[in-house]
Amino acid sequence: MPRGATRETEAAQRVTMNTRVVEQPGLEFPRFFSREGVDPFDEFEWESRTALIGSEQGEVVFEQRDVEIPAFWSQQATNIVVSKYFRGQMESPTRERSVKQLIGRVVDTITEWGRTKEYFASEDDLQAFSDDLKHLLVYQKAAFNSPVWFNCGFEEAPQCSACFINSVEDTMESILTLARTEGMLFKFGSGTGTNLSSIRSSQEQLKGGGTASGPVSFMKGYDAFAGVIKSGGKTRRAAKMVVLDVDHPDVVDFINCKVDEERKAWALIDAGYDGSFTGTAYSSVFFQNSNNSVRVSDEFMRSVLDHGDWQTRAVTDGRVIDTYKAHELMRLIAEGTHVCGDPGMQFDTSINDWHTCPNTDRIRASNPCSEYMFLDDSACNLASMNLMKFVDQDAGNFDAEAFAAAVRTLITAQEIIVDNASYPTEAIGRNSRSYRPLGLGYANLGALLMSRGIPYDSDEGRDWAGVLTALMTGEAYAQSA
């Protein structure tokens, strides 16, 4: 031991040496899809079109003339990208008028982030990555989630993740903070899910006297904000998931809440109100802006099979509040789903058995679509690949090498996004940067199987799905590491 050193200082020095930051070499990125010195935008013809969307009544809902679109894109793709993703006020000089502007601002922003953070070994590697990413997007081989298209290159600190999971505590401050956080997420085009089981039930007392409102009452406020804040400033609706544990004392109210509102909407429709998706009947009732899911355990499911009892317990002290027959609760859930599609079910035991970070905390909720299940206060940015774009149109062979290269390119872009995107709370930003949840998937599996004459529900079809997913996952993990 050096003179004057203590065992504590020696241990501290040892920890410092063991945890020092080791400078990593930049990423080498060989080209796969692009050619050096050739802009992917210059490889094909462009044409001027009109993006036009009409209503069922024949009225013009959206129109933008003289937009520049790749000649091989469909009119449907034109209408979607121009109406949803072009930025700027209509008729203003700053309004985007070309797919070159849209893809350019996204790719250029990610490229500049990669340059600033020194992700790549050389400028040539950076340019190869940039060109390959541009190729994948303009040839419709891949796409990012909507917040990237909405915000990247437009907002100074863009929100880029589509999927969020928020936490809430049993305090008025936390309950109202969640409303603000959700509102900001909806504003920039993201969706969010929260388990409200931490909020005391309507059968429990408040510290100052009186009875608590319960989570279902607060859901009305959350639902109202989701209904009025259009996602990404566009016309699409906000996406929201609400989860409640099956042992929460208000679980029956939660199961029935959307069913009751559905029946109110039916009464309004019978009275002559518009019953369409955006009509006055459904806009006049609660809980139309979220997916509701009851979170159940294996213990509950076994009790259902055994026709056993099921107890709900107080949030504040754990005492038994009500006792039900488990199969009767299950029947209520099934009937609710039959009437209005909700509630869904989340299987807590199985979800946490598959937890990729089990030593951190339990998974309690999901994003609205439920493909993202992770810790509270976290976010995931998504990208998807079009499987049919990797099929040789002449020979019909699937190009696995190109598919793997696309995975590497997209995962690299998503990794860059994580560190440079903004997040609505410090906790979400911290967890996103620490755990780096990335969502990469594929689309058009059904079309791929049909093009090969393979039944969707067949062993051969499942083999294809398994092989594609394994290749995608392995390449993504290797590149991310």
Domain ranges of the chain: 40-140, 168-365, 377-480
Residue 357 annotated among the catalytic residues of the structure = no
CA distances in angstroms from 197 to 52, 214, 310, 316, 357, listed in the order given: 45, 10, 17, 11, 22
**Quick one: tokens of 448?**
């791929």
Query: What is the rounded distance in angstroms from the CA atom of residue 158 to the CA atom of residue 239?
Result: 19
Query: What is the rounded distance in angstroms from the CA atom of residue 333 to the CA atom of residue 300?
Result: 13
Residue 378 binned pLDDT confidence (cut-offs 50, 70, 90)? very high
Please report, rounded to a whole number, the percentage of residues in the chain having pLDDT higher than 70: 94
CATH ID of 168-365, from 3.20.70.20, 3.30.572.10, 3.40.630.30, 3.30.1330.10: 3.20.70.20
Residue 10 annotated among the catalytic residues of the structure = no
Residue 371 annotated among the catalytic residues of the structure = yes
Is there a contact between 244 and 295 (Cβ–Cβ < 8 Å)? Answer: yes
Q: Three-state DSSP class for 154?
A: coil
Catalytic one of 155, 256, 369, 420? 369
- Provide the whole-model pTM: 0.87
| Mean pLDDT of the 412-424 span | 95
Chain segment 287-346, per-residue pLDDT in tens: 999 999 999 999 999 999 999 999 999 999 999 999 999 999 999 999 999 999 999 999
Helix and strand numbers, DSSP H then E, in the chain: 16, 14
Chain segment 59-97, per-residue pLDDT in tens: 999 999 999 999 999 999 999 999 999 999 999 999 999
| Mean pLDDT of the 426-430 span | 95
| Mean pLDDT of the 129-134 span | 98
Helix axes 172-187, 215-228, angle to 10 degrees: 20
> In 399-465, at which residue ranges do the beta strands (DSSP E only) sit?
438-443
Q: Three-state DSSP class for 306?
A: coil
pLDDT at 157: 85
Residue 462 has pLDDT above 70, yes or no: yes
Chain segment 220-277, per-residue pLDDT in tens: 999 999 888 865 555 567 889 999 999 999 999 999 999 999 999 999 999 999 998 7
Residue 11 has pLDDT above 70, yes or no: no
Catalytic one of 371, 397, 401, 460? 371
Q: Three-state DSSP class for 174?
A: helix
Written as one letter, the residue type at 309 is D
Catalytic one of 195, 291, 292, 367? 367
